Structures are given as structure tokens and as C-alpha cells.
Amino acid sequence: FSIISFSVLLFAISSSQAIEVNAMNEHYTESDIKRNHKTEKNKTEKEKFKDSINNLVKTEFTNETLDKIQQTQDLLKKIPKDVLEIYSELGGEIYFTDIDLVEHKELQDLSEEEKNSMNSRGEKVPFASRFVFEKKRETPKLIINIKDYAINSEQSKEVYYEIGKGISLDIISKDKSLDPEFLNLIKSLSDDSDSSDLLFSQKFKEKLELNNKSIDINFIKENLTEFQHAFSLAFSYYFAPDHRTVLELYAPDMFEYMNKLEKGGFEKISESLKKEGVEKDRIDVLKGEKALKASGLVPEHADAFKKIARELNTYILFRPVNKLATNLIKSGVATKGLNVHGKSSDWGPVAGYIPFDQDLSKKHGQQLAVEKGNLENKKSITEHEGEIGKIPLKLDHLRIEELKENGIILKGKKEIDNGKKYYLLESNNQVYEFRISDENNEVQYKTKEGKITVLGEKFNWRNIEVMAKNVEGVLKPLTADYDLFALAPSLTEIKKQIPQKEWDKVVNTPNSLEKQKGVTNLLIKYGIERKPDSTKGTLSNWQKQMLDRLNEAVKYTGYTGGDVVNHGTEQDNEEFPEKDNEIFIINPEGEFILTKNWEMTGRFIEKNITGKDYLYYFNRSYNKIAPGNKAYIEWTDPITKAKINTIPTSAEFIKNLSSIRRSSNVGVYKDSGDKDEFAKKESVKKIAGYLSDYYNSANHIFSQEKKRKISIFRGIQAYNEIENVLKSKQIAPEYKNYFQYLKERITNQVQLLLTHQKSNIEFKLLYKQLNFTENETDNFEVFQKIIDEK
């Protein structure tokens, strides 16, 4: 299965909505909401600080004691919570770890220049000796070694310096005007030798002297790092208790500036960032007629689709349609399915169609692509004889005028050839000439004088042929179809797909764990389980039904070209995924919306689909190199903000093990010659089962109702079984690294779920409190109790 959206909650709606509430044990009443609001309002400052810590800090440890973790965390208690909120608003993350920084996963992509960045003393120290490091990217990441900082004031000062660097990314940024007060402060500090010696690097002091201490916009931009260093250093002196008096004595003006920030300045910055965040979260889209016009869909077809979206309470998302195909579809031109792989054209008189000669397509001039396209077209005609063919291209007056208006062709002078009248069609192409017959509107082409094609050919006038499809006994030319980006029905719609007997059997199960798992499996089976179809690609039963509904609706508008939606969604296009800047959306209210870039599409889906009760899953090739077109498309999980390529599915796990076996010719266990080892070995079967359950009852399903417990539990079970495998002396060394890597992936993902569960417990502490020799139900009850208490 593809990873399921966080919004697919395992829930049950009231009986009036045909789903039992008791199935999920979710009872959120108005009084609960009011009580939660009151509790939030009455939180103490200590609790607010704790929340800030939980949202920011990730703890990674193996052998260090809790005392050292606490002492490391105490460093953050000495700075205002507003500073942590600034860090959070910047998208920052803080890691407490006992791993050497040179081995930390977040620091593996550092450049040599970054590794040699200055410490608080303005020195470039070996990266291997670092115990704290601020990684500056679009969002800051602070990695802190777990140490006894209480006994080493210099090390604690270094930590505060790196924190200061993180927030200085916003306070002193090339994209923002420098705070006038800070700017004046720098000028005054440059006139005071004690202050400048304390806070400025020698290099910066020399630059100031060369510039006659004149600080303008260009000087700031050229020396941004030095300004950030001065701020960060002052920040470290001010908040490191043993060093504050040094700042007050040698740089009193800077001390006063930091004091103002502590007493309200940081709060103002935090509030400003929050407001910017609100603005940033606004999704800039086109709506209504503007969205429809930009989408490329035929208006009458879109109107028919919105009735279906309303009736079935479903989001229907389309990839952009070639604008040159819109009027072709409207006029009844057929649309291509998966049985035609040739590329359409975006130039010349054949624009919008799929030329049999692929040198007339958008791949013009690309020898390998043209050769491949020509073979594909011939193959389509041979393998689908009677269904797919080719016909001469004909253009009527309206089509010629449309191409002229779009600047694609010009209708030129008249010529007579063998007593027949033609009109030249001028284009910017350097290889071909075009003309149209006045008698039958057929379009011809030939190579220009002295020119040859990319395949080394030259020829006189011949008909342009385009790919065609048999529609009710008539071959109709082909154009691009409507590509679905996604379909997102409400869970109540998916519930209608489930046979009542199956549903009743599950919801009447007394065991809560089994009930939740059972309901999830039904939603998976009837909502997400997809099968390959030879003509329509990979899709579920309800998706097939949706395609039929969409195509029938278009035919009722008078369209005569057959189907316009020919295959499954981009969600399942794992071989050749494509990234589109614009996505056209019809929501369940029947509104037309067009997102303007990939990020906006993700945010729209997060806010309106995965953030609500709609079923959605992501293309599993995202954040990987796609096997077909080798595309790498980033997609971030809308809830955890993590890349979705986290824990493998059961199938991927087995596939990974098989890959290691093929390359090493060694089984998971030493001296194993069993070819069916993966299916027979109990530990491998258990891990695969837990991974399957992890996604079946997944974090994605429970997120909106704060019910990720089953996924967390399944993840911990998988982790425990992997621990057993690694402890086994029988495991082959070729597999050890993979299982270690898998263990780390599970740890990181489950910790994310714990964080978003608002649980204060660390993954490894939770793991140690569970007893996997008990039966599963008892262990799950213990697990739930621990989670609820935390």
C-alpha cells in the first residue's frame, strides 16, 4: 500500500451517519472542548516552557544517564520561552544526543566551509572537537552533546552562542531591514575598544576601520555573518550565568539591549513571526471562473464533475490540461489512454494532437526520443489493431484561427500544385514546411530545401498523420486526456463501500485493539487497496466507479469522443511521477480552485483534505528516485513535516532483504540455504507483519483525533523484534547494517508520533517499560496507560 494520509482517521461517526461512535471510543463533547480550553488558558509558565521544549527538542541517547539529559535541558530553562518560540517559528529543531557530532545524521551533508565556521571565540576549530553545532539552512538545527554543563561554564556559554546564531538568522537577515537600534548599537560599540574587543572578531574590526566605521546596506550584506556573530556572542554572555557580568562591565550598551530583548523584545519578535506565519499559511489560489479558465478543462465538463463532487462528498484533483487540447476535446476529439505512449505536440499545425511522426511532437529534434516515440506509436497500432490507428490530420477554419491567435502558426500565401489549391502554414520551425489543402483541409509537410530530419531523412510533400482511436466504429484523432492527480472521498463515502455484515462483525468485537485494527483493515480493503488493471493502471474498486461516473457525466454534456478520464491517479504513478506547478481542484462544495505551485498544492491538501475527514494517500515514489523516469519529487508529511520516506512497508522490507540476498548470495541467517527463508523465518515474518499493521492502523489514520497509539505500539513491536534479530549470533553480517538502519528509522518515526501525541516520554524509555513476553493485549493495555499518564 501507499502511505495513507494522516487524515484517514480510524473513526466512527454517530449512528445517524451510519457509523457507530463506540467503534473508536471517541467522545469529544462540548464540555470537553471548554474544559481543554480552560486548562490551556490556565497553564503555568513552567508548563508553557515544557510545551516549548517538547515541540523543539529531540533526545537521542544510548548510555548517558537521565541526570546529564536533565542538565543539558536546564540550559534552555535559563532563556525566555519567547526565544524558544522564535526558534520554533523559524522551523528550528534541537537535538540532545550522545552521538559524536561527526557521526550525527543531521550533520552529514555539511560543506567544509560550514564545518570550519567560527565558535564563540571567533576561532575555527576542528569539527571533530565540537560538542555543539548550529546547522544553518532554511530552518536552523541545533545539535547538542549531552554533557554535565553545570560544571563547565565555558561549554554552556558555547551552547548559548549557537542558540543565538539560530535566532540571529531572523533578527539579522539579508531579507530584512536591520533593527535600527541594533545598527546604532554596532556603531557605538565600534567606538569603544573594550566593547569591540569583546564582541567583534579581529577581521570585523579591520573591515570597520577600512570603511571608516561607516555602516550602510551594502556593508551589512557583505558582513552579515559578522553581525550575526556579534549578536550571538552577546546573547551567550548574557544568558550564561557565569559570564553575564563580563558583558555588563565591558559592553554595557549591549547588555542593556539584551536586557530589553529579555523583558519584551523577544516576545515582540515571536509575535511578529507568528503573524508572518499566518500570512505564509494563506494559500494563494485562483477560484471560480479564473481557476476554471486556467485549468484547461472544458467548462461544461467541469460543471458536470462538480455535481459528482457534491453528490459523493469527494475532492477531485486534476493535473493541468494542455490548453491547446481544450477546444479539441470540446469538439469531440478522442483522448488517449495507456495504450498510446507517443507524445503530443506543442508547436506547428499538429499542436495538441499526437503525431505519428514523433519529430513533429514536443520531442522534435531529439533523436533518441523521436526513435523511441516512433516505435511506441507503431507498437500501439500493432498490439491494439482495430482499436488504435492513424489518420491524416485535418484542420478546420476555427482550429487555424485558434493556432494563429496563440502565435503558433500563420496562414500564408496560396499555391497551386497539380491543379490543387493549398495554403502555406508558416511556423518558426527550421526543418519543415507546412501547407493545408483547400479541398479537404488535410495538412501536409516536407523538409525544407537543404535540410534533413533528426533521423537523416529528406522528403517531399506528404500527409501529416496523427494517432487515432476507434470510437463506435469511427477512427477519431487523439489528444491529451484529463489526468487525475488525486481523488479524496470522505470516510463516510468509503464506509458505504463496506458490506454491513463485515462492518457489524468488526464493531461488535469486545477487544478495543482488535476493533480498531479491524475497522482500519476494512477502510484499507474497501478504500485504499488497489489492483493493477491492464487498461486503466492501478486503482481501487471505488476509483473505477468514480472514473465511470466522470466519463458518463461528460457524455451527457454531448461529448462524442469516448472517455476523457482513462486511467488511475497520479497517486499511483510510481514509475513515472510528474511534478506540476498547478493543480485544478473541485471540492465537495462544487467550487473550482487552482493552486499555483507545488508547495501551495501540498498546503492546500494539508489544510483541506488531510486535515479533515477525507481519505488520501501519497505517491510512494516521492522522496525517492523514481524507477522509470528517475525523477526525484519531494513531498513532506503535512503533520510531522517529515519526509514520507520513513518506515518501509511490509512489501518494501521483504524487497530490501531480497535485494541484499541477490547481491551477496547470503541469507539473513548464517549458513541458510533456504530460498524461501523470508517467508519461513519467524522473526522476519513478525517484522513484516508489524510493518503491515503499522500502516494498516497507521499514524496517518489516527492523527486528527490524537489516536496514533496503535501505530506507535506496532512500531515498538517491530523495533523489539529487530533488536532480537540483531542480538542473535546467527544473523549474517551482510544484513546487520540494514537492520541497524531500519531500527533507526523506526525510532525516529515513532518518536515523531509520540511528539505529536503530546506525550512527554522518550521512545527508548517507553520501550524499556514494556514487557514483550506478555500477551499482546496485556502489553498494549500497559502501553496505553503509560501514554495516557504522560
Q: What is the pLDDT of residues 582-625, one digit of tens each?
A: 999 999 988 899 998 888 898 898 888 887 778 888 887 777 66
The residue among 65, 139, 55 whose CA lies nearest residue 98 is 65
Residues 6+ apart with CB under 8 A from 177: none
What phi, psi does 232 have (nearest 5°)? -65, -40
Give residue 303's pLDDT band: very low, low, confident or very high (50, 70, 90): very high
Q: Report whether pLDDT(357) > 50.
A: yes
Q: What pLDDT does residue 18 have?
A: 34
| 80-100 mean pLDDT | 78
Give 203-260 pLDDT, tens digit per residue.
888 888 887 767 776 777 778 888 888 888 989 898 888 888 989 899 999 999 889 8
> How many CB atoms are located within 10 Å of the residue 138 CB?
7
pLDDT at residue number 19: 35
Question: What pLDDT score was predicted for residue 213?
Answer: 67
Quote the pLDDT of residue 132.
Answer: 84
Q: Please state, in angstroms and rounded to a whole number, the distance separating the CA atoms of residues 457 and 721.
A: 64
Check residue 52 and give its pLDDT: 57
Residue 65 has pLDDT above 90, yes or no: no
Report the b/e string of 201-211 with b at 16+ CB within 10 A. beebbebbeee
For 745-762, what is the mean pLDDT? 75
Phi, psi dihedral angles at 704 (to 5 degrees): -65, -25
Grid coordinates given for 446: 516536407
Average pLDDT of the chain to the nearest whole number? 79
pLDDT value at residue 137 = 55
The separation between the first and the last C-alpha atoms of the chain, rounded to the nearest angstrom, is 32
Helix (H, G, I), strand (E, B), or coil: what is residue 322? coil
Express each pLDDT in 674-699 by its tens digit.
Answer: 444 444 477 888 888 888 777 654 33
Q: Identify the residue with better confidence: 28 or 741.
A: 741
Please provide the DSSP assignment of 619-673 as one string: -TTTTSB-TTT--B---B-TTT-SBS--SPPHHHHHHHHHHHHHHH---SBTT--
List the single range of 57-71, 179-193, 377-391, 582-596 with lowest mean pLDDT: 57-71
pLDDT value of residue 118: 77
Question: Between 612 and 419, where is the model more confident?
Answer: 419
> Which of the residues are catalytic?
341
Q: Work out the angle at residue 251's Cα, subtended by the Cα atoms of residues 249 and 255, and round it to the nearest 5 degrees.
A: 90
Measure the CA–CA gap between 162 and 159, rounded to whole angstroms.
5
Per-residue pLDDT reduced to its tens digit, 155-192: 888 888 888 887 776 666 655 556 677 778 888 888 88
pLDDT(24) > 50: no
Answer whether residue 632 shows pLDDT above 50. yes
Q: Which of 111-125, 189-203, 272-286 has the lowest mean pLDDT?
A: 272-286
Q: Which three cell numbers stand for residue 302?
A: 467541469
Question: How far, CA to CA in Å, does 469 sit from each of 321, 327, 378, 457, 473?
Answer: 19, 18, 14, 28, 9
Structural domains in the chain, CATH included, are 1-41+285-321+482-635 (3.30.70.1720), 43-280 (3.40.390.10), 332-375+395-476 (3.90.1760.10), 646-789 (1.20.140.60)
Q: What pLDDT does 372 receive?
A: 92
444 Cβ neighbours under 8 A, 6+ residues apart: 422, 434, 435, 436, 437, 461, 462, 463, 464
Give the Cα-Cα-Cα angle 212, 215, 217 (nearest 5 degrees): 140
pLDDT 10s digits, 467-496: 999 998 999 999 999 999 999 998 888 888
pLDDT of residue 281: 53
Greater pLDDT, 377 or 616: 377
pLDDT given for residue 714 in this prediction: 85
Determine the pLDDT at residue 785: 84
Residue 737 confidence (pLDDT):
76
Is the pLDDT assigned to residue 72 strictly greater than 50?
yes
Residue 580 predicted with pLDDT over 60: yes
Counting residues of the chain whose pLDDT is more than 90, the rounded percentage is 26
pLDDT of residue 425: 93
Model pTM? 0.54
Which band of pLDDT confidence, cut at 50, 70 and 90, is reported for residue 556?
A: very high
- pLDDT, residue 35, reads 42
pLDDT at 174: 53
* Rounded to 5°, angle at Cα 211 from 210 and 212: 90
Identify the weakest region by mean pLDDT among 308-317, 482-491, 504-513: 504-513
pLDDT tens digits along 655-677: 778 877 777 777 777 655 544 44
Contact in structure between 653 and 645 (CB atoms under 8 Å): no
Give the per-residue pLDDT at 756.
Answer: 62
CA distance 722 to 759: 24
Q: DSSP labels for 156-188?
A: HHHHHHHHHHHHHHHHS-TTSPPPHHHHHHHHH
Question: What is the model's pLDDT at position 692?
Answer: 77
Report the C-alpha gap between 388 and 305 in whole angstroms: 27
Handedness of CA 453, 456, 458, 461 (dihedral sign): negative
What cell numbers appear for 244 in the block? Answer: 553575564
pLDDT at 128: 83
Q: What is the share, in percent, of the chain residues with pLDDT greater than 70?
A: 82
The Cα 121–Cα 187 span in angstroms is 21
Cα radius of gyration (the chain):
32
d(CA 530, CA 213): 68
d(CA 606, CA 81): 28
